[in-house]
């Protein structure tokens, strides 16, 4: 790989151990994936923030980076952690877990990262522009910014994104390059247009193809629908970029007339639904994967207004960012009559196993991860059907 003199100096440790480690990682990844050079990035979004997922090994790695003087050099935000920083006791979190988690957040903060602890930074805290090269981890968020905004990022892991954030550079390969952004299949979607139907569409694509760059026809997603579609395809498969005819900014660049066209409609959506629905009753309802937007908070509050919760044996969590929670006080007041509006965290990265064993969600992404990462039997339905279980 061609490195500039300044980049070589970082690799030789002339700017401290933290930057040297970061350069070692970014160049190693670049060599594996055949990058010829590094490229400047404008932002980073980091995952690997929950004590549940990174454990003491991850905590030690962060301690080492901080003591090596590592600081980010581009605006950087952080994914959800294992608990709400203020309301962790209400989440059945132990003192031990909370202590470790707060230390992890503090370490990220010391490196100059905005500890927003949300997987939807693109709705406010960290919004790339079209054509920006960025280094984002969090599979749902990076797929959203690649696809809906037209920024460029690979599917970074937590350490890779942190290293890129420290350097302000990443290796130039994969989805940073034009040739890898071309569609690989056309999907003719026949869905009802709801957010939940986009979640099932993404699940169905993941089950049918798993990877590639799908080009959708027949849908017109807004932010909430694209958020659900991005998350579902990133979890049921490994999709990091898609195009939607007439909606996403790069779709018009491609001639798709020669590509295989695959229909996804009623039958495929039913298969997706069956795969995600195993539990017939639940102990926890967890909504907000990816984190709820302001619009979704308004919609849920409107749905709940005037209703009564009749099943007190089922806990309800609404997961969003601290920013959105602060902006919607009236919605929060209504939602709190039914459950907890939690910030900084989610049902997957919080240690819910051991407290709950059957969880309902409206998200295909959570529906995939609740069984594998949280030992849950999952139920996956749209929000009104899910909340209908307790009313
Ligand atoms: Fe976000 Fe957690 Fe889902 S990080 S995308 S709410 S699994």
pLDDT tens for each residue of 256-283: 999 999 999 999 999 999 999 999 999 9
d(CA 62, CA 66): 6
Q: If you count them, how many residues does the chain have?
A: 391
Q: Ligand 1 within 6 A of 150 CB? A: no
d(CA 65, CA 285): 37
The answer for residues whose C-beta is within 8 angstroms of residue 82's C-beta and 6 or more apart is 50, 51, 52, 53, 93, 97, 101, 345, 349, 350, 351
pLDDT tens for each residue of 65-78: 999 899 999 999 99
Look at residues 142, 144, 211, 134 and name the one whose alpha carbon lies nearest to residue 176.
134
Is residue 22 within 8 A of residue 167, CB to CB? The reply is yes
Q: Ligand 1 within 6 A of 365 CB? A: yes
Q: Ligand 1 within 6 A of 231 CB? A: yes
Q: Which domains does the chain have, with CATH numbers?
A: 5-177 (3.30.499.10), 182-274 (no CATH), 277-390 (3.30.499.10)
DSSP string covering 92-110: T--HHHHHHHHHHHHHHHH
Average pLDDT over residues 152-178: 97
List the alpha helices (DSSP H) in 138-288. 139-144, 158-167, 195-208, 223-236, 266-276
Report the nearest atom of ligand 1 relative to the CA of 79. Answer: 4
d(CA 361, CA 258): 38
**DSSP assignment letter at 264:** E
**DSSP assignment letter at 4:** -
d(CA 106, CA 97): 14
Please give the distance, rounded to the nearest whole angstrom, from the Cα atom of residue 27 to the centre of ligand 1: 29
Q: Ligand 1 within 6 A of 80 CB? A: yes
Q: Ligand 1 within 6 A of 366 CB? A: yes
Torsion sign over Cα 52, 53, 54, 59: negative
For ligand 1, mutation pick of 82, 155, 230, 231 (most atoms within 8 Å of CB): 231
For ligand 1, mutation pick of 46, 50, 80, 155 (most atoms within 8 Å of CB): 80
Is residue 376 within 8 A of residue 352, CB to CB? The reply is yes
Q: What is the CA radius of gyration of the chain?
A: 21
Please give the distance, rounded to the nearest whole angstrom, from the Cα atom of residue 363 to the centre of ligand 1: 9
In order of 33, 229, 257, 299, the CA distances from 321 in angstroms are 34, 19, 41, 16
Q: Ligand 1 within 6 A of 140 CB? A: yes
Alpha carbon 53 to chain centroid, angstroms: 14
Q: Ligand 1 within 6 A of 290 CB? A: yes
Percentage, residues of the chain above pLDDT 90: 98
Show the CA angle centred on residue 298, arms to residues 327 and 311, nearest 5°: 110
Report the nearest atom of ligand 1 relative to the CA of 139. Answer: 5
For ligand 1, mutation pick of 291, 318, 324, 373 (most atoms within 8 Å of CB): 291
In order of 121, 189, 227, the CA distances from 125 in angstroms are 5, 32, 16
DSSP string covering 49-78: --HHHHHHHHHHHHHHHHHTT---SS-EEE
Please give the distance, rounded to the nearest whole angstrom, from the Cα atom of residue 258 to the centre of ligand 1: 36
pTM beyond cutoff 0.95: yes
pLDDT at 214 over 90: yes
Please give the distance, rounded to the nearest whole angstrom, from the Cα atom of residue 365 to the centre of ligand 1: 8
Question: What pLDDT band is residue 150 in, cutting at 50, 70 and 90?
Answer: very high
d(CA 7, CA 2): 9
Q: Ligand 1 within 6 A of 346 CB? A: yes
pLDDT tens for each residue of 340-351: 999 999 999 999
Report the nearest atom of ligand 1 relative to the CA of 120. Answer: 1
In the prediction, which pLDDT does 68 show? 87
Show the CA angle centred on residue 311, arms to residues 343 and 364, nearest 5°: 50
Computed over every residue of the chain, the mean pLDDT equals 97
């Amino acid at each position: 790989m061609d490195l500039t003199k300044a980049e070589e100096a970082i690799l030789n440790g002339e700017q401290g151990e933290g930057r040297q480690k970061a350069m070692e990682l970014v160049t190693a990844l670049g060599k594996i994936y055949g990058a010829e050079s590094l490229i400047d990035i404008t932002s980073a979004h980091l995952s690997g923030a929950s004590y549940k997922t990174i454990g003491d090994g991850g905590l030690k790695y962060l301690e080492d980076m901080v003591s090596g003087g590592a600081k980010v050099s581009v605006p950087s935000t952080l994914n959800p952690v294992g608990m709400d920083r203020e309301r962790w006791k209400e989440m059945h979190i132990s003192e031990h877990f909370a202590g470790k988690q707060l230390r992890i957040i503090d370490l990220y903060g010391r490196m100059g990262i905005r500890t927003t602890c949300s997987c939807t930074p693109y709705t406010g805290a960290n919004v790339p522009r079209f054509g920006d090269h960025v280094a984002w981890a969090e599979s749902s968020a990076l797929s959203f910014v690649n696809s809906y905004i037209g920024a460029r990022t690979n599917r970074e892991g937590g350490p890779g994104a942190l290293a890129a954030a420290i350097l302000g550079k990443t290796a130039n390969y994969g989805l940073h390059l034009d040739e890898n952004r071309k569609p690989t299949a056309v999907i003719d979607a026949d869905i009802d247009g709801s957010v939940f139907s986009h979640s099932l569409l993404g699940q169905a694509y993941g089950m049918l193809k798993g990877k590639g760059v799908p080009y959708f026809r027949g849908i017109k997603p807004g932010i909430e629908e694209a958020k659900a579609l991005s998350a579902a395809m990133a979890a049921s498969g490994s999709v990091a970029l898609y195009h939607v005819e007439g909606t996403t900014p790069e779709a018009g660049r491609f001639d798709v007339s020669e590509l295989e066209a695959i229909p996804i409609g009623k039958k495929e959506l039913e298969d997706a639904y069956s795969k995600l629905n195993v539990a017939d009753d639940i102990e926890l309802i967890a909504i907000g994967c990816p984190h709820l937007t302001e619009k979704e908070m308004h919609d849920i509050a409107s749905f709940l207004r005037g209703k009564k919760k009749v099943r007190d044996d089922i806990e309800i969590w609404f997961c969003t960012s601290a920013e959105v929670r602060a902006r919607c006080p009236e919605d929060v007041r209504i939602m709190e009559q039914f459950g907890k509006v939690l910030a900084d965290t989610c049902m997957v990265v919080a240690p819910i196993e051991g407290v709950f064993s059957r969880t309902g969600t409206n998200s295909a992404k959570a529906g995939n991860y609740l069984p594998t990462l949280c030992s849950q039997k999952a139920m996956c339905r749209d929000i009104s059907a899910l909340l209908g279980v307790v009313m």
